[in-house]
Amino acid sequence: MKYLADSNILIYAALSGYESVATFIANELLSVSIITKLELMGFHDLKQCDYEKLDNIFKELNVIPLTDTISSKIIELRQIRKIKLADAVIAATALALVKK
């Protein structure tokens, strides 16, 4: 893994006019936390055409599942900071992968 992307970069990659972001994603080894995929693909107002664009983007990415290591890091982060669960999952995923 070279980069752990958050939802914003993927949203821009799916938009017209941001082809450079889509190119960056295609050329780099990007990973995402499973929570990022769940947040984006599960958005209640997501149009079918946007769903398909995002689905194609996710096929190019390494989606990191929750593991025991990541779960332990989430718990640790939430015990020391007031942090939303989704943010803690993403942060813990990045921290767990840096140590590999």
Look at phi and psi of residue 64 and say left if phi exceeds 0, alpha if psi is from -120 to 50, else beta: beta
* Rounded-to-integer distance, Cα 66 and Cα 64, Å: 7
Q: How confident is the model at residue 92 (pLDDT cuts 50, 70, 90)?
A: very high
Domain annotation for the chain: domains and CATH numbers? 3-98 (3.40.50.1010)
Residue 63 reports pLDDT greater than 90? yes
Per residue in 16-58, pLDDT tens? 888 888 888 878 878 999 999 999 999 888 889 888 988 988 9
Q: pTM, whole model, 2 decimals?
A: 0.82
DSSP state of 81: S
13's tokens: 């990659």
